[in-house]
A and B are shown apart, each in its own frame.
Chain A
Amino acid sequence: MKKPKILYVDDEPINLMLFEANLEKKYQIMTAENGTKGLEIISENSDIRVVVSDMKMPVMNGIEFVRRAREMSAGISYYILTGFEITAEIQQALDTGLIRRYFKKPFNINEISSEIEIVING
């Protein structure tokens, strides 16, 4: 069976590397260093199931990226993973259903992977 595709967007290469290293067994991880690249990957890969994005990034922040990505592909489940405490902007994104959940750095792999499981199996 083909592994589900997941996109992770973060401007720090080590974060990208670790996310991939820790989840690559179960999922096919695609990574992007900023929102623009993330949008490109989404447009080229219609089978992406889950998108996890950092909040503070150059070019566009996580919420902006998710908003644009959702316009292209509404079927994906979106998440924010950030080192910040929950902000008003993130809270609003949660309330309006733009993102399903918000994760905090340092990330708990088990928490994230069990959430991804719910989305993929449900």
Chain B
Amino acid sequence: MARIKFEHRITFIYIILGAVWILFSDSILKLFISDIDNLSEVQTLKGVSYVVITAIFFYFFIRKHLSKLRNTEHELEKHKSNLQQLVEEKTMNLDHAITELSNTNIALNEKNDIINQQNAKLKKTLKELKDTQTHLIQVEKMASLGVLTAGISHEINNPLNYILGGLTGLENHFADEKINDQKVELYLSSIRTGVNRATAIVSGLNQLTRNRETYEEDCDIHGIINNCLTILDGELKNKIEIKKQFSEQPMVVSGNVGKLHQVFLNILINAGQSIDDQGIITISTEIKKEKAHIKISDNGCGISKENLSKITDPFFTTKEPGKGTGLGLAITYNIIEAHKGTISFMSTLNKGTSVRIALPLKKEK
């Protein structure tokens, strides 16, 4: 059942009471008062008292309700102010938290920067360490090899001296005695070829391993390449054809003879190893823009694209353990850099590889 609203009820009761009062109060008055004059006076009094009573009634009624309303309003006001304070407090807390968060964020970013910097430093150190290790291994290797070859070559040079001295003596003797025998001629020339080749190998080995740190020696590139080919003769012959296309002008670079031997030896060894059965290594040289350009190409197995970018990394190798250290081209690269030169590699799998080296020519003084 719908509840009848309070104001409707009170208005309804007031109308009913008022109507009952107006309708029945006069009849009741007439029962007690017979005098008309008196009646009129009493009626006036009755009207006044009605107004007063209802006024008093209304007064209390309205006061009660107003006070309720005022209380509510007051409470509301109080709540409102509380709420505002609460919001302010919360806002302040939030601001505080935001400041703290952003401070933490800044600190974190700083830490992140530090970590990134340290990471970069670590990477750099690691690279330097690898390079130093390569260099150390190389220096150590070449130093012991140098001592060994110097000792061996001295010991071999003496018997070679006997052979050459004896040969010279024999040649002179035959010439003096006017002995002109074709067979003798053949034997003598065979011995001379043998001695010359042995001498070239020993001398080449010595050039390769000489322990000098200067970069101001006159390096005859053609001589160095020929020397390396002499050293590698045993390894390459019967398997590989060497095609030389050397520039006609002499090619002299200011640098380190021993180290440049290592460069060409490394590249020629790699080229030789890339060829399984039969193949060709082409070596061409050319002088362009005050630079010595050397190109060494082979028609061997080639290098895959993904490996090509790594071949100068220290310790990178595709050879079986014990077959290669992965240092050859790393060292080659370092030596070329030390000569202020450039080296680049081009390769196609199963087609072959070509290495291009450019070195600044010796400046004429």
Which A residues are within 8 Å of any B CB, using their own CB? 12, 14-15, 18-19, 21-22, 56, 82-85, 104-109
Contact = CB atoms under 8 A, between A and B. Distances in A.
Interface residues of B, number: 23
A85 B203 CA distance: 8
Which of B161, B169, B210 has the most C-beta atoms of chain A within 10 angstroms of its own C-beta?
B161
A106 B206 contact: no
User: Would you list the 10 A-B pairs with minimal beta carbon distance, nearest first?
Assistant: A83-B157, A18-B165, A106-B164, A106-B160, A83-B154, A106-B161, A85-B206, A105-B157, A105-B161, A109-B168
A60 B300 CA distance: 54
Given A83-B154, A83-B155, A105-B161, 4 more contacts: A15-B161, A15-B162, A22-B168, A105-B157
B104 interface: no
A19 to B, nearest CB: 7
B164 A107 contact: yes
A12 B169 contact: no
B161 A18 contact: yes
Contact of A18 (B150, B153, B169, B210): B169
B160 A22 contact: no
Nearest to B151: A84
Main secondary structure of the interface of B (DSSP, over half): helix
A115 B84 CA distance: 114
A60 to B, nearest CB: 17
Interface in B200-235: 203, 206-207, 210
A15 B165 contact: yes
B163 interface: yes
Interface string B153-192: 1111110111111101100100000000000000000000
Given A85-B206, A106-B157, A22 B165 contact: yes
Given A14-B162, A84-B150, A104 B157 contact: yes
A14 B160 CA distance: 11
Nearest to B166: A18
B165 A84 contact: no
Interface in B265-309: none
Contacts of B336: none
B169 A21 contact: yes
A85 B363 CA distance: 26
Nearest to A54: B158
A56 B172 CA distance: 29
10 contacts: A15-B162, A22-B172, A83-B156, A85-B203, A105-B157, A106-B157, A106-B160, A106-B199, A108-B164, A109-B168
A24 to B, nearest CB: 10
